[in-house]
Structure 1
Amino acid sequence: MATKPFASSADLTEKRQELEILGDGVYALTAEGDPNVGAIEGEDFLVCFEALATPVAAREWLARLREHTDKPVRYLVLSHYHAVRVLGASAFDAEVIIAHDNTRALIAERGKEDWESEYGRMPRLFKEPASIPGLTWPTLTFSDRVTIDLGGERGEVHLRYLGRGHTEGDIVAWLPKQRVLFAGDLVEAQAALYTGDAFHREWATSTLDNVAALGAEALVGGRGAVARGRAAVDAAIEQTRHFLEVMLREVGAVHERGGTLREAFRAAHAALVDRYGGWPIFEHCMPFDVARLWDELSGVERPVIWTAQRDREVWDQLQD
């Protein structure tokens, strides 16, 4: 039997990017399941959401954005600490880089290991990795919320912490006037979930409840298409919840009866593959998802740090 390629290491095909305009001065760049990014115009500045994996990749996004606005980037918002979201930050020349308090702590604790891990898992996303100057450090952090006044009649951006989920430091950017939500990896629309650093039970319940309570009419998830309209937004949130609930049910059942991690992986994979197996990064995510949930059910409160070596060990352990 052929060996399954490690994570996304064999995914070398460039994805078609699409710049979508969600309202006056509200932009999202999606790319067939690659990480999404966004931008919001203020009166004389920009708020950018997410930074991509390298400065070279970020500059390509900024070149697309500059076809619509030449305003300088005042704020760069990082939804969480993962390398593919943050290491391109230097390209933005932002006055302020904003993240949650927990995200800054995670960068200090495990940012270097995560960088090496994600580069090994998703090499295609790291365009010209030598362009990365080092770890990205936020210059402003918060615990609950920050409000950015966009000026004029443009309204506000509310940066909110809605609870632990994809990581312990995820934040969203909510535009109440436009009813647009940049949800980061707390919600995926037609893309599989990565939960290797997650808090599954809290994410599937109170955190997603808080996301839904905002009442967004357009939602940009971490990956996948933009959800437009309340029905599509609700569907994206519930798809995310369903993925988590199935994992909790299947892995939990094996754990409770004293089974093995490998058995839990097979059970969760079998339960999810028909619905989600054709979606981006499903096969990549599942071993790491199940390993983290198994730890969580075993009483390991905070995720074990992923290193390039541990990635390979878990991958090899769970493959048939």
Structure 2
Amino acid sequence: MGAKPFASSGDLADKEQTLEVLADGVYALTAEGDPNVGAVEGEDFLVCFEALATPTAAREWLARLREHTDKPVKYLVLSHYHAVRVLGASAFDAEVVIAHDDTRALIAERGKQDWESEFGRMPRLFKEPESIPGLTWPSVTFSDRLTIPLGGDRGELELRHCGRGHTEGDIVGWLPQQRILFAGDLVEAQAALYTGDAFHLDWSTSTLDSVAALDAEALVGGRGAVARGRDRVRAAIEQTRHFLEVMIREVRAEQERDGTLKGAFDACHAALVGTYGRWPIFEHCLPFDVARLWDELSGVERPVIWTAERDREVWDRLQG
């Protein structure tokens, strides 16, 4: 058997996009495990959630959205700093770009390296990369909670920081009136987790507890299908928690027996592949997931910056 293609570099097949209307004026676009995006109508404006990897890709999403509404985009919400979520922002022409305080700091610290890293890992998502004007910078940030009144009888959109998880600065978008949650990459529904910049111990406990406590009736995760109904929402949250808990158990056990990073990767792969191995980006993510978790359990508080060079080194060491 030949070496596995690097990350998602061999995934070149187009994915079928599905636009779903979750409630009056609430939209989600899913794409067979590619990053999800969403939008919420205010009385006379739109809030868009996530920006995709390039302006060209974002404009295609906006063209689908314009089949339902012609309201201008007033707010663009970025759940975290990863390139495939933010670099398409210029296409929205939003008045306000919102993110967490830590997301802005992470863009300043490692945004350029992350752009180069993700382009190498997932080239198909970067449709017409020359359309990217540069790093995306939020114009408004917050630390705990920010509320956007939607006007009329539409209620409000609450943006919340539930704790450290997929990154330091993840935020969710919560519609309490409709009981719909845009969870970003804090929750995946039938898609593997990327945890290369994560805080696994917080994420698997207090952060997911805070997400679950919202008691959503529909949940749009970072990837995968929309979870509809409380049972499926809970299942998506618990699937995410289980993936994290298995990794923590296996990596901790390998460290306790004075094992190696490769041993930890092999143990995690064996423990997870039966349940998650056929889900999107499993093979892509796991080497980077295990490398970060190994560091975290070794006392490295903040994730080491991923560069294109470090990506290849870790891949070749663990998955090559």
- Classify the TM-score, shorter chain: over 0.9
Partner of 1:311: 311
Partner Cα distance (2:208, 2:90) in 1: 31
User: 2:278, 2:118 → 1: CA distance?
Assistant: 22
1:217 is matched with which residue?
A: 217
Letter in 2 for 1:300: V
The residue aligned with 1:95 is: 95
Q: Which runs of 5+ in 2 are unaligned?
A: none
- 1:174-253 maps to which residues of 2 (within 5 A)? 174-253=174-253
Q: Matches of 1:210 and 1:128 in 2, distance apart? A: 38
Partners in 1 of 2:25 and 2:115 — Cα distance?
Answer: 32
User: What's the CA shift string for 1:249-294, capped at 9, x where partnerless?
Assistant: 0011001111000000000000000000000000000000000000
Shift of 1:85: 0.0
3-state DSSP of counterpart to 1:262: helix
Q: In the alignment, is residue 84 of structure 1 matched against residue 88 of structure 2? A: no
Count of residues in Structure 1 that have an aligned counterpart in Structure 2 = 320
Equivalents in 1 of 2:255, 2:108: separation in Å? 32
Structure 1 vs Structure 2: percent identity of aligned residues? Answer: 83
Looking at structure 2, the residues matched to 214 and 318 of structure 1 have their Cα atoms a distance apart, in angstroms, of 38
Rounded Cα–Cα distance in structure 2 between residues aligned with 1:303 and 1:12? 29
The separation in 2 between residues aligned to 1:158 and 1:2, in whole angstroms, is 48
AA of the residue aligned to 2:33: G
Per the alignment, residue 106 of structure 2 pairs with 106
The one-character-per-residue Cα deviations of 1:157-188 (angstroms, maximum 9, x if unpaired) are: 00000000000000000000000000000000
Q: Give yes or no for the alignment of 1:55 onto 2:55.
A: yes
Q: Distance in 2 between matches of 1:229 and 1:151?
A: 26
**TM norm structure 2:** 1.00
Give distance in 2, aligned partners of 1:319 and 1:33. 21
Counterpart CA distance in 2 for 1:247 and 1:3 is 24
Match of residue 64 from structure 1:
64
What stretches of structure 1 move > 2 A for 4+ residues in a row? none
After superposition, the C-alpha distances for 1:1-22 in whole angstroms (9 at most, x for unaligned) are: 3011000000000000000000
RMSD of equivalent CA atoms: 0.4
Which residue number in structure 1 is paired with residue 19 of structure 2? 19
Q: State the SS of the aligned residue for 2:36.
A: strand
Tell me, in whole angstroms, the C-alpha distance in 2 between the residues paired with 1:273 and 1:181.
28
Q: Which residue of 2 aligns with 1:265?
A: 265
The one-letter amino acid paired with 1:143 is S
Q: Deviations over 1:126-174 (max 9, x none)?
A: 0000000000000000000000000000000000000000000000000
Whether 1:280 and 2:280 are equivalent positions in the alignment is: yes
Correspondence 1:29-44 to 2 at 5 A:
29-44=29-44
2:138 is paired with a residue of what secondary structure? coil
CA apart distance, 1:319: 2.3
Please give the alpha-carbon distance, in whole angstroms, between the structure 2 residues aligned to 1:71 and 1:14. 29
> In the TM superposition, what are the counterparts of 1:160-175 in structure 2 within 5 Å?
160-175=160-175
Instruction: Confirm whether residue 138 of structure 1 aligns to residue 143 of structure 2.
Output: no
CA separation in 2, counterparts of 1:169 and 1:130?
A: 27
Alpha-carbon distance in 2 for matches of 1:80, 1:306 = 16
Q: Distance in 1 between matches of 2:55 and 2:30?
A: 18
**Unpaired segments ≥5 residues, structure 1:** none
Mapping 1:142-153, distance limit 5 Å: 142-153=142-153
Distance 1:308 1:147 in 2: 37
Please state whether the residue corresponding to 1:280 is helix, strand or coil.
Answer: coil
Q: The residue matched to 2:10 in structure 1 has which SS? A: coil
Give the aligned residue type for 1:277: G
**Distance in 2 separating the partners of 1:135 and 1:16:** 28
Matches of 1:206 and 1:85, distance apart in 2: 24
2:221 partner amino acid: G
Question: Secondary structure of the equivalent of 1:263?
Answer: helix
* Matched AA of 1:136: T
